[in-house]
Structure 1
Amino acid sequence: MKPLEPKPKIPYVVGSKSPTAVAINSASKAGEWIKSRLGLIKEINTKCSPQDLVTDVDKGAELMIRKLILTHFPDHSILGEEGVEPGAEASERALNQAKEAEYLWIIDPIDGTTNFVQGFPFFCVSIALAYRGEVIIGVIYDPIRDEMFVAEKGKGAYVHGNPMKVSRDEKLADSVLAVGFNPDRSYALPVNMKGINALADRTLSLRAAGSAALHLAYVAAGRLGGYCEVGLNAWDIAAGALLVKESGGMVTDTTGNPYDIGVRRLVASNGRIHQELLDVLKNAEATGV
């Protein structure tokens, strides 16, 4: 019997000027450069807390992505993590100033910077495009696993060119959920800990791998049943939220209101366990409201 031939690798770098192709190309090029800088970081600083890190590689990757996007779309606006002052208030101000743009690119050059600094292989590039405040394109690239997650509004979501579907878990007890240990130690972390404590014995298991964007990509791919965290920013979740919705899942804030790019208290799931997850967070006073 002849051995099966490996499937041809789908090219990620597309020579088109469509916004989706530009997002894919930008994420791919930045991701490969980030990967090449593992262990070669020259500068590490902190932002809103000692646990909130930023490196010269974050800044370089964002500059690269900005240049690639603006080469094709010079009239578009860009909201990138490294162009915003640290802290929740600064993030909210920057989003309010930018969200009225007709076309707004929302970029996190390295989601999971602490992992990148430590050499822990769970970080990614996240790029989204919003049209009049609604996310229409979401791209997340994991350079370590060479996984490109892509979603277009109304056209589904894909990884390696294959359609993604959320898990079919019917209840929390059957689900593996992702949670986050937010670097905001004064507000977000205590709220998240309440939720983590409440969910620990209500789920099959919990995971906290340190990248909101990849957690959302994994919900979209059916690898996780859901994900929740308080204290996030638009660039952490814009691309991933579209991936989840286009894979058949549900994304809201922690009180069940529909997702928009201003949401900072996030719950994403396969949809089937969503209300049960919201109820647990509410009863644990872990909504952040």
Structure 2
Amino acid sequence: MSIDDRAIDLREAFLRELLGEAGDIARAGFARQAGETVSMKGPQDYLTETDGQVESHLKARIAAVFPEDGFLGEEGGGEPGAQAWVVDPIDGTANFARSIPHFCISIAFIAGGEVQLGAIVNPVLDEVYLARLGRGASLNGQPIRVSGTTDIAATSFEMGWSNRRPLARYIGALNELFEAGSNVRRGACGALGLAYVADGRSDGYAELHMNSWDCLAGLLLVREAGGVTGPFLSLGGLLAGAPVLAAAPGVAAVLSKATAIPLLAGPDLVADAKEDDQRRIA
């Protein structure tokens, strides 16, 4: 099913409104929750009251304005259908629950088998990332680009952890990256990890398993900022989750080799990125 530019225009304008509304709810919850008891959905899987409040608000607003669109959320699930909004109301909940301001709201709109819109907002830092397919990516309205790093000894990668995959695989990938000369870190918020690749704060992000609500917006941001990613949707990631990789073109092959996550782009990644730059300038 295809969707025309006018329909995307309407949803992009609506998305900008949603980001402000959801950010206000999350910011208020963050200020309020300090010291409160936090529920657990599973091992190292936190749930706060604000998760539910943000998701409920977003779901209700989308249903009221675009009743024909599906909805898939981390907390309530849903049926995406041919076109849908995919939402993580609070990514980085462990940070949120411990009063660490490294968390975000992630919203993607998917139609025609592709992510058309992606947005990530850190409401405490007032940082709003937005991408539209074929139109580039921005942070607070300013265009962003992935880093131009090509020297592995100068890289900073982020490697997210998932208890859905064997710990040995995670440790093995970390070890290979360290041996290659990279600095590797973990911020415990995958969506922001991807956003930081898009704006050049990190050179790459990988996780052996992520859910679609955690990563669809960030993957679009990275691609629209000139980066390369793995084939998340073609691996069945929308409903089941899949491995995630996103990186600057000059160092993506090293991250791919260490994690055994394939790249979506072709082998000449630097050349691909230069050609993309020329097309955008033209």
User: TM-score, with normalisation over the residues of structure 2?
Assistant: 0.82
**Which consecutive residues of structure 1, in runs of 5 or more, have no partner in the other structure?**
1-15, 85-93
- Return the match for 1:235 from 213, 221, 224: 213
Aligned length: 251
The answer to whether residue 68 in structure 2 is matched with residue 75 in structure 1 is: yes
Q: Are positions 1:157 and 2:137 aligned together?
A: yes
CA–CA distance in 2 between the matches of 1:115 and 1:73? Answer: 32
Specify the SS of the correspondent of 1:61. helix
**1:157-196: CA deviations, max 9, x gaps?**
01111111100001322211111132x2x63544222211
Match of 1:173 in 2: 153
Q: Using the alignment, how far apart are the partners of 2:247 and 2:131 within structure 1? A: 16
In 1, distance between residues paired with 2:182 and 2:94? Answer: 27
* Residue 273 of structure 2: aligned partner: none
CA distance in 2: counterparts of 1:65 and 1:249, whole angstroms: 29
- 2-side partners of 1:45 and 1:210: how far apart? 18
Deviation at 1:258, TM superposition (A): 8.3
Query: Per-residue CA shift, 1:88-134, capped at 9, x if unaligned?
Result: xxxxxx6xx53xx2211000000100100001110000000000321
1:217-249 per-residue CA deviation (whole Å, 9 max, x = no partner) reads: 110001110001112100000000000000000
**Structure in which a larger fraction of residues adopt helix:** 2
Post-superposition Cα deviations, 1:44-98, rounded to whole Å, max 9, x if no partner, equal 3222x320111111011100111222221011100000013xxxxxxxxx6xx53
Name the residue aligned to 2:40.
46
Flag the 1:191–1:176 CA change in 2: closer, same or farther, 3 A.
same
Q: Aligned partners of 2:23, 2:172: CA distance in 1, in Å? A: 34
- Looking at structure 2, the residues matched to 267 and 277 of structure 1 have their Cα atoms a distance apart, in angstroms, of 8
Q: What is the letter of the counterpart of residue 136 of structure 1?
A: Q
Matched letter for residue 119 of structure 2: V
Which of 16, 21, 24 pairs up with 2:13? Answer: 21
Per-residue deviation at 1:259?
9.4
Q: State how 1:142-221 maps to structure 2 within 5 Å.
A: 142-182=122-162, 184=163, 187-221=165-199
Shift of 1:17: 7.7
1:135 to 100, 110, 115: 115
Q: Percent identity?
A: 32
**Gaps (5+ residues) in structure 2?**
1-7, 263-282
1:141-168: CA deviation from partner (whole Å, max 9, x where unpaired) = 0111101100000000011111111000
**CA apart distance, 1:36:** 1.1
Q: CA deviation at 1:23?
A: 1.6
Letter in structure 2 aligned against 1:199: L
Runs of 4 or more off by more than 4 Å in structure 1? 257-260
TM-score, structure 1 length as denominator? 0.80
User: RMSD in angstroms over aligned alpha carbons?
Assistant: 2.4
